[in-house]
Structure 1
Amino acid sequence: MDYKLNMPKDLNGYKPAGVFKTDDGKMDAMELYTLSRDEVLGTRSTRRDPEEFHGHREDCKRFFLRSHEVLSRVMNHLDKHLGLSPGTLSALSPLEKPSATSLRILMARPQPLNDKIISLGGYTDIGTIAMLFHIVGYFQVLSAGSENISSNWRYVCTVPECALINIGDSLVEWTGGLLRSNLHRVVTPPVKQATCTRRSLAYLIRLAHNGSMRRLQSNVIPQLAEDEEVETRYVDEWAAWRAHQVIEGNVRPQTRGGRPISMGNTMIAH
Structure 2
Amino acid sequence: MAARLSEDGHSKVTLLEAGKRDTNPWIHIPIGYGKTIVNPDVNWRFETEKGPEIADRPMYWARGRVLGGSSSINGLLYIRGQAADYDQWRQMGNTGWSYEDVLPYFRKAEDQENGSDTYHGSGGPLRVSNLVERNPLCEAFIASGVAAGIPRNDDFNGAGQEGIGYYQLTTRKARRCSAAVAYLRPARARPNLRVETEAVVERILFDGKRAIGCEFRRGGRLIRIRASREVILCAYSIKSPICCFCQVSDLPRN
Range of TM-score over shorter length: under 0.3
Q: Which has the larger radius of gyration?
A: 2
* Bigger relative CO (Cα 8 Å, ≥ 6 apart): 2
TM-score by length of 2: 0.23
TM-score by length of 1: 0.22
